[in-house]
Structure 1
Amino acid sequence: MIKQNDALNEKLPIKKLIPLGLQHILAMYAGAVMVPLIVGKSLGLTSEQIATIISIDLFVCGLSTLIQVIGIGKFAGIKLPVVLGCSFTAVGPMIIIGKDFGIGAVYGSIICGGLFVLIISPLFGKLLKFFPTVVVGSVITLIGLSLIPVAINNAAGGIGSANFGNPENLAIALFVIIVIVLINKFSNGFMQAISILIGIVAGTILAYILGLLDFSSVSNASFFKFSAIPFTFGKPTFVLSAIITMCLVSLVSMIESTGVFFATGNIVGKDIKEKDIVKGLRAEGLAQVIGGIFNTFPYTTFSQNVGVISLTGVKSKFVVIAAGYMLMILSFFPKFASLAIIIPAPVLGGAMIVMFGTVAIAGIRTLSTVDFSNNNNLLVAACSIAVGLGVAVVPGIFGQMPQMFKILFESGIVSGSVTAIILNIVLNWTEIKSSSNNTNIHEDVA
């Protein structure tokens, strides 16, 4: 039996690392390419420019993941099996900044936002005492539950698709779920570990048989091209209002990432300390600065991949390291990289339903250790999950609020997390104060 700490550092053979790493890539790939697609089209970039951004994005996703898992000097990273990708929180603000001030202002604000994260990450680490088990469990549960609507929308064909809700889409998503469930039921070991990958491949084959695959993106892509050149789309410009906006967006991402760190730590059996949070956020800050320099986007730790770890039980960080290198290699081969783009939304949706559901269950498992005979804990969990899930499924709730407020709270994960933190402070302040006095939570940051 492999102990949890040993499982985190377990070295696997290449023949296992490649499919396991590919599984992580497929779990985050849609999110990684959707941001450049949405932002690029909104800012009037050509198809060729958008394809270039996607290639650069893959390179920076891989590099950022390696910084987070392996570390570079002072930027040691959190060293958990986590994958970094484009922040969806920044999509709206980037489009607004780009339309108002030009694409250079977008990259200038991204760089400044990354520097902001680097500066305040040590201070953010001091807030660890405000994340007891009831808060952590609520946030993990909320991460899973708030992502389920994303999975369901994909299962139906993807928001905006002409055939949204088509029974054929739902049947494909159901087929993927059944494949994943059957593999987990009737197999074990390595086959079980790559059940998500098998489900996605099987679903894509079914979509091909039904004539639903569009290979135009593959045929139009170059076979080999190195696109990761700094300032490809111009030098950054610095506009104060844009910088302030992106700093707020970065703060939101820090809150989301902290929840993901706790969720991943809970699954792999690592106790997340203050210094771990600081290291993880430092790595994200550096990744964001790199994103601005390479004319891509802010990068954050993806919650999608937590579900992969939870479902497969493979906790080795070397799997994610392999995924990071594979992402960088894919960026050199646009034609191969574009293969993942052809995976239909219902296929990804079916896999996401299983993955995000397992994240929610991981949170519920964490909450099961909380003393709910204490009504204070009950209120913290109940209100935070209800608020966060409500915002996630009714995104227009803050439609009449100021733009800055919407940037901060239109994410259900952030709204729920803030609710949990504030309620815990108000209702459990005596316990928090006692914990601060009796434990040395503020460790020195390496």
Structure 2
Amino acid sequence: MPRKPSNLVYGVDDIPPLRILLVLAIQHIFFLTAGLITAALIAREIGGTPELVQSIVCMSMIAGGIATILQALNKGPVGSGYLCTEGIDPTFVSCSILAGLTGGISMILGMTVFSGLLECLISRGINRMRILFPPEVTGVVLTMVGLNIVPVMISNFFGISGKEDAVQPANLFVAAATLAGMVGTNVWSKGKLRFYSVIIGMAVGYLAAYLLGVLKASDLERISQSPLLSFPDLSHIGWSFSPLLLVPFISATIASSLKAVATFTMCQKINDSEWKRPDLNNIQRGMLADGLASVFGGLLGGMGQSLYAGSVGLSAATGTTSRIVAFVTGGMFITLAFLPKMAAVFSIMPKPVMGGALVFMVSFMVISGIQIMTSRMMDVRKTFVVGISLMFGISADIFPGLYRNFHPLLEPFFSSSLAVTTLLAISLNLLFRIGIARREVLELEPGVDSSQTIFAFMENQGAAWGARGEVIQKAKMALNEFFESASHLGIAEGKIVAEVFFDEFNLNITIRYQGTPVEFSDVLLEGEALLDDENAFINLSFRIIQQYADRVESEEKDGQCRVLLHFDH
């Protein structure tokens, strides 16, 4: 049972008051509307009319709302049960534009459905593919998901469109005021005011933008001119498919799927103070919902949907991860698709306001990625996986045309910093696994070897395997306790052989020796019973071993003694 961290006021199973629910849902919708810019961008790039843009945006909102509700389900085969909203992801921008230029909007919708079905298929085998996403891979991908937003974040924060644009003081002041409102409320506020940190910051930003002329009267007129109620136009809906687009959409789907693994891992971590390892069954259900989100997007005439990792950062920042917030957010997002006047309030958000909010949100995402990366012992192999993946991933943003002349079949894998990082992290992880033995043997000779031999062996192997530090600590203390007891009591004749086996979920130490068998009892002797027992020292020592290990077994056959120490990983 997950244990709610102390920094969360409302955990995933809690139900906040109605007023808090509504405000938190509005904050999530503010972030989701940023993804609608991506839908408009794709539609315009393929020559879409304003009416087509509006229809695609509205249908994308409906698909996103349905997917967000589906993702929050915690019973049945679909849904992670977490507050993790679904929106339009930049990962699919390049391949969607390519599909649109190849076969129009129907090609985008058809390939989007294909991408969603592919992720659904990947989710079914996620338990067998856990070798592809150890913590250093999921952590580096999640970190890059946050860093991937930085170019958009900075351009919005300073209110610029390109490198040659000059920064206007008014834009900088609006962004700084927005960020200050969010950070100040989050850090120094008392009580439940922290829940409203994002909306307070945005309100400060809107006000500053209006007073400084960044938000103009013509923008406000857009609200008054929008109809109160309208139904989206569905005439653009149609589907087509092209085998020539398989490679770019498969590569984008793989990158999005790995990002989903990292995002669900982040969800699990921030909702459980005793988090140890990713829950693959939960990730499987969440990925299935994420894949169905894109299927819905394509079928309804909108863009593909993907996990909006920023919502996880937002929920961590506000201290509320209740899944009820997801249900309210999804319902409100669907409603906005039929209420253009309300949607216009979000559509006129000044760029500096969005930029300030993104700085606030990305800070939590990047730090969570780093924490996941470092949740395992880092050796030189993992250092290279993380370092090389990050550096070359960032290069795609620093030098946008760096990978432009690659072979057409390879170009999709280098289309963005996230794609480069994902490809390198997976490839290097598999490459550096070569030569790592998952089973090692340590021979110990009583009276000759010391505790330092055990400590050095276990620490070196733990780093090579990427094991959790606390598990290695327990294992080396348990093995050392057995070795010292066996040495002092003379129960072993000759060498003691310890065979250590590791996988992602288990660490087993099988100890073999010739000599006197030992028995591990669950009965703890106390007081006079302990003093009267001639084997009191042996029982106490082995009782200590049982406190370190999650399971202990012992047996003896033909003078060959065997002790198994099992540790959950």
TM-score, normalised to structure 1, is 0.89
Q: What are the superposed Cα offsets for residues 284-303 of structure 1, whole Å, 9 maximum, x if unpaired?
A: 22111111111111111012
Among 8, 25, 30, the residue aligned to 1:26: 30
**Alpha-carbon deviation of 1:165?**
2.2
* CA displacement 1:81-139 (0-9 Å, x = unmatched): 11111121222222222222222222122222222222232124422233333333333
Q: 1:235 aligns with which of 234, 238, 242?
A: 238
Which shows bigger deviation, 125-134 or 203-212? 125-134
Please give the alpha-carbon distance, in whole angstroms, between the structure 1 residues aligned to 2:75 and 2:338. 23
List structure 1 segments (4+ residues) > 6 angstroms apart after TM superposition.
none
2:314 corresponding residue in structure 1: 308
Match of 2:87, SS state, is: strand
Query: Relative to structure 1, is the Cα distance of residues 392 and 281 closer, same or farther in structure 2, using a 3 angstrom cutoff?
Result: farther
| Alignment correspondent of 1:35 | 38
Q: In structure 1, the residue corresponding to 2:15 is in which secondary structure?
A: coil
The answer (yes or no) to whether the contact 1:310–1:362 under 8 Å persists in 2 is: no
One-letter amino acid of the structure 2 residue matched with residue 169 of structure 1: N
The aligned amino acid for 1:435 is D
Contact 1:135 1:420 in 2 (8 A): yes
Shift of the 103–3 alpha-carbon distance from structure 1 to 2, 3 Å rule, reads closer
- Partners of 2:140 and 2:253 in 1: how far apart? 22
Q: 1:364 deviation in Å?
A: 2.8
- Pick closer, same or farther for the CA change 1:220–1:72 going to 2, 3 Å: farther
Instruction: Work out whether 1:15 is the aligned partner of 2:19.
Output: yes
**TM-score where L is the length of structure 2:** 0.71
SS in 2 for 1:126: coil
Cα distance 1:142–1:187, how it changes in 2: closer, same or farther (>3 A)?
same
In structure 2, what is the equivalent of residue 3 of structure 1?
4
C-alpha distance in 2 between matches for 1:437 and 1:272? 10
User: Based on CA coordinates, which of the two structures has the bigger radius of gyration?
Assistant: 2
Shift of 1:163: 6.0
Change (3 A) 1:51 1:160: farther
Which AA in structure 2 matches 1:114? G
Task: Evaluate the alpha carbon distance shift between residue 122 and residue 402 of structure 1 in structure 2; reply closer, same or farther with a 3 A threshold.
Answer: same
What residue is the counterpart of 2:462 in the other structure? Answer: none
- 1:71 positional shift: 6.6
Tell me, yes or no, if structure 1 residue 63 matches structure 2 residue 70: no
SS at structure 2 position matched to 1:402: coil
Contact 1:146 1:388 in 2 (8 A): no
Are the counterparts in 1 of residues 198 and 357 from structure 2 also a CA contact under 8 Å? yes
The one-character-per-residue Cα deviations of 1:312-361 (angstroms, maximum 9, x if unpaired) are 22121221221111101111101111110111011110111121122212
What is the one-letter code of the residue matched to 2:28?
H
Aligned twin of 1:444: none
Distance across 2 between alignment mates of 1:162 and 1:204? 26
Question: Are the counterparts in 2 of residues 108 and 243 from structure 1 also a CA contact under 8 Å?
Answer: no
The match for 1:181 among 180, 183, 192 is 183
3-state DSSP of counterpart to 1:85 = strand
Give runs of aligned pairs for residues 13-412 of structure 1, distance below 5 A. Answer: 13-31=17-35, 33-70=36-73, 74=77, 76-159=78-161, 165-213=167-215, 214-227=219-232, 232-269=235-272, 271-372=277-378, 374-412=379-417
Deviations 1:32-56, CA, capped at 9 Å, x for gaps: x112211221222222221222222
The separation in 2 between residues aligned to 1:238 and 1:146, in whole angstroms, is 29
Distance change (3 Å), C-alpha of 1:72 and 1:316 = closer
Given that residues 141 and 258 in structure 2 are in contact (C-alpha distance below 8 angstroms), is that contact kept between their aligned partners in structure 1? no
Q: Where does the alignment leave 5 or more consecutive residues of structure 1 unmatched?
A: 441-446
Summarize the Cα distance change of 1:48–1:117 in structure 2 as closer, same or farther, 3 Å threshold: same
Partner Cα separation in structure 1 for residue 318 and residue 279 of structure 2: 25
Letter in 2 for 1:285: G
**Conserved 8 A contact 1:36-1:53:** yes
Residue 435 of structure 1 is matched in structure 2 by 503
Distance 1:286 1:345, change over 3 A: same
Between 100-109 and 193-202, report the one with greater CA deviation: 100-109
Separation of aligned partners in 1, 2:425 and 2:139? 10
Cα pair distance change 1:280/1:134, threshold 3 Å: same
Q: Deviations over 1:164-193 (max 9, x none)?
A: 522221121111121222212321332112
Unaligned runs of 5+ in 2: 439-464, 466-500, 509-569
Check the 8 A contact 1:7/1:316 in 2, yes or no. Answer: yes
Structure 1 residues 35 and 233: CA distance shift in structure 2, 3 A:
same
Q: Distance in 1 between matches of 2:115 and 2:373?
A: 34
Change (3 A) 1:94 1:422: closer
CA distance in 1, matches of 2:245, 2:374: 43
Whose helix fraction is larger, Structure 1's or Structure 2's?
Answer: 1
Larger RCO: 1 or 2 (CA < 8 Å, sep 6+):
1
Instruction: Give the total of aligned pairs.
Output: 434
Equivalent pair of 1:126/1:274 in contact (CA under 8 Å): no
